[in-house]
Amino acid sequence: MQCRSGPRPRGFQNENGQALIEAAIALPLLLLVLVGLFELALASYSSIEVTNAALAGVQYGTRNASTAADTTGIQTAVANDAGNLNLGTTSVSHSCICSDGSASTCQPTDCSGANIETILTVQTQATFTPGFSIPGLPLNFTLHGQAVQKVLQ
């Protein structure tokens, strides 16, 4: 049996190299998407690490009243937890509330018939610089982390 090599149907004229051209068009778009996903993952990881550093500081500070007053120790705990991040400002603040739910200014006379509960807040921030600059977006992003917890009495 012989194959006829006559004229081909109209839609199938010459498809040699079509897959190569499609790959050449799709590959740069695929690489751009992969680089974007990598940058997004790196920014997400850095954001989680900034928040975890704040949590480490608040966990150190809420063990008792003396560690809650140890601002240097809290900042050291934050810095130790965020080992591969360049942290910016770490702020530590205290607030109070009465154990019955009423407001307090941390004065001993604020809570009649109730205990004063101290609340420790640790806020951290770091600057994230993407590996690739995208036109229209800033060159740096500031990431913020915060942890709030009551101090054990």
pLDDT of the residue at 136: 83
- CB-CB contact of 85 with 54 (8 Å): no
- CB-CB contact of 21 with 35 (8 Å): no
Which amino acid is residue 118, in one-letter code?
Answer: T
3-state SS class at 115? coil
Provide φ and ψ at 143, rounded to 5°.
-100, 140
- CB-CB contact of 117 with 97 (8 Å): yes
pLDDT along the chain (153 residues), means of 10: 59 72 90 90 92 94 90 92 86 90 82 86 92 82 93 82
Instruction: Enter the pTM of the model.
Output: 0.76
pLDDT of the residue at 106: 80
Q: What ranges in the chain are assigned the alpha helix state H?
A: 18-61, 65-68, 71-81
The residues near 62 (Cβ < 8 Å, ≥ 6 apart) are 68, 120, 149, 150, 151, 152
pLDDT of the residue at 9: 60
pLDDT of the residue at 10: 63
